[in-house]
Amino acid sequence: MLSQLKLAVRPCVYMCRCVHTKEKGKPLMLSPRTNKGMAFTLEERQVLGLHGLLPPKIETQDIQAMRFKNNLEKIQDPLAKYIYVMGMQERNEKLFYRVLLDNIEQLMPIVYTPTVGLACSQYGHIFRRPKGVFISIMDQGHVGSILDNWPEPNVEAVVVTDGERILGLGDLGVYGMGIPVGKLCLYTTCAGIDPHKCLPVCIDVGTDNEMLLKDPFYMGLYQKRDRSQRYDELIDEFMEAIVNKYGRNTLIQFEDFGNHNAFRFLRKYKDNYCTFNDDIQGTASVALAGLFSAQRVINKPITEHRYLFLGAGEAALGIADLIVMAMKESGMPEEEAQKKIWMFDKYGLLCQGRSEAIDSHQEAYVHPVPGQLAKTFLEAVNILRPTAIIGVAGAGRLFTKEVISAMGSLNERPIIFALSNPTAKAECTAEEAYTLTEGRCLFASGSPFGKVTLPDGRVFQPGQGNNAYIFPGVALAVIVAGVRNISNQIFLEAAKALAEQVTTDELAQGRLYPPLSNIRQVSICTAVKVAEFLYSKGMAFKYPEPKDKNEYFLSKIWKTDYESFLPDVYDWPLSATKLPNL
């Protein structure tokens, strides 16, 4: 009798009870947050005013994902693929993240490096719908009110750029917004962070890119970069506005700022805000993880290597500082560790007495001239005899045939990291590195390269030193544990956690990192390891401490499954429902 009563009131309940959304009808299909396409059930269509607005077939998300993938495979041009994929994010975000997670190895190069760089360079030409918040120098004094216009009230993670140094492409001004959008896509895809709690921001203070200033489709201020005190005041106002609105624990990730500003903002804000710079610290962590993996292959600790960097900017210095921290943890004095690291920039080796200016943050790696002055990178290799070369200059193919051959002659197992992005800026290809060293090198790159088959039949799967292995997992740990300040030690722990997840079989294949197809599992495992460190050091502020952190983190993951917009009336108590007279 009870079940019959519930069945009797079911239509009335559907029409009078509130559903999960206030929207009804076509607006549900126009919002990427609520749109399910043809996966709306018949009952949802009837109750929500959608009946007749969709073809009669009820589809599963599996079928939708299959259609999406089939259409994508027909597109050959990378930029066209980017436009198609990001267009889905604008229409149906659950389906977008489902497909991205299921096909991460194929789609990571589209939504992230290298294609995102191309998309940024063409941002004004392919623009369809704005994503994120744009704050210009003209908005000084009103940043808080601009943030009030963002519709999501509970932001936990912010990625911000001023567009001055986008990948290896240089100053792209507001065209750089594609980077925060892409990074936050990976927050959700790799670590399951709720996309509605993520905010991409572009700070527009002008651009020094003459081509953009002449581009009729450019979307930012038509002025040279403002490098006055107003710029610093705007960034100060932005930082304070974020924590005033969203809380002191809000994670703020700096991305693709120019070298000078990147370092000084990190020093300025790291002790008072929950912030990090991915170009400095994230790159450092993933590179160090690759060195930890190489250490397992050749059984030679990082303290016994000599490192030569091509490039002396924020990426190089971030990696060097973290290597020094790891060496110190192994018992080596800091000064001795720094002596094992050399840097070569566009003016040559960082050496004492050279005429070109040396920044204060480079001084730890300025050494006496090593016998004779190296005028080229090849000369530096032959003079210093490094066991590892790390390219982060973004200057193209400077790991020449002669450089790679020299590394192979000097070392039984040379370490060659060509980390610059996008692919056109990589110091060498995987094929060049493996071929010229007869398969003996330990190789990693910033951009993806395919398998390499040597004439003798050996096959190598090069590892991609992708920051996506680090920053999503670190962000998840920081958000869930409630961290207020992010130290370099956190990135050292993340590097250890990542390296530990590379299997012996994967090392034998030439991999120094886990397969990207496992990125969700890798990110959660990294987050768990980092969280264990945070709680052990008293750096976490969210208590009680979870006993089973893996289970706890999994419970926090944002799901890509469609949710029903209808309440389950069979679970309601009859007292909550007005029954008809019988």
Nearest to 197 by CA among 249, 241, 154: 154
The phi, psi pair for 121, rounded to 5°, reads -65, -25
Residue 68, H or E segment? helix 61-73
> What amino acid positions are annotated as catalytic residues?
112, 183
H-type alpha helices, 247-299: 259-269, 283-298
Burial of 449 (0-12, 13-18, 19+ CB in 10 A): buried
Tokens matching residue 133: 């918040």
Q: Specify the amino acid at residue 161.
A: T
The residues, any chain, with a CB within 8 Å of residue 496's CB and separated by 6 or more, are: 289, 292, 529
> If DSSP codes are grouped into helix, strand and coil, which group holds residue 55?
coil
**Could you tell me the CA-to-CA distances from 169 to 120, 174, 278, 425 in Å, in that order?**
9, 13, 17, 9
Instruction: Provide the phi-psi class of 43: left if phi over 0, else alpha when psi is between -120 and 50, else beta.
Output: alpha
**Could you tell me the CA-to-CA distances from 413 to 91, 387, 433, 439 in Å, in that order?**
49, 8, 12, 9
Domains, the chain, in order of start with CATH, read 78-273 (3.40.50.10380), 281-469+483-518 (3.40.50.720)
pTM for the structure as a whole: 0.91
Q: Name the one residue in this structure whose structure tokens are 């750029």.
A: 161
Q: How far apart are CA 224 and CA 335, in angstroms?
A: 41
**Could you tell me the CA-to-CA distances from 550 to 220, 486, 521, 523, 524 in Å, in that order?**
44, 21, 10, 11, 7
Q: How far apart are CA 312 and CA 347, in angstroms?
A: 10
The phi, psi pair for 119, rounded to 5°, reads -65, -40
**Could you tell me the CA-to-CA distances from 24 to 30, 61, 278 in Å, in that order?**
11, 21, 41
Residue 250 near residue 240, CB atoms below 8 Å: no
Q: How far apart are CA 420 and CA 416, in angstroms?
A: 12
Q: How far apart are CA 80 and CA 309, in angstroms?
A: 35
Q: Specify the amino acid at residue 429.
A: T
Q: Specify the amino acid at residue 283.
A: T
Tell me 413's DSSP state.
S
Instruction: Provide the phi-psi class of 29: left if phi over 0, else alpha when psi is between -120 and 50, else beta.
Output: alpha
Q: Are strands 133-136 and 198-204 parallel, antiparallel or unpaired?
A: parallel
pLDDT tens digit at each of 582 positions of the chain:
444 434 334 444 333 344 455 678 899 999 999 999 999 999 999 999 999 999 999 999 999 999 999 999 999 999 999 999 999 999 999 999 999 999 999 999 999 888 999 999 999 999 999 899 999 999 999 999 999 999 999 999 999 999 999 987 899 999 999 999 999 999 999 999 999 999 999 999 999 999 999 999 999 999 999 999 999 999 999 999 999 999 999 999 999 999 889 999 999 999 999 999 999 999 999 999 999 999 999 999 999 999 999 999 999 999 999 999 999 999 999 999 999 999 999 999 999 888 787 888 899 999 999 988 888 999 999 999 999 999 999 888 999 999 999 999 999 999 999 999 888 889 999 999 999 999 999 999 998 899 999 999 999 999 899 999 999 999 999 999 999 999 999 999 999 999 999 999 999 999 999 999 999 999 999 999 999 999 999 999 999 999 999 999 999 999 999 998 886 543 444 334 343 443
Q: How far apart are CA 368 and CA 279, in angstroms?
A: 28
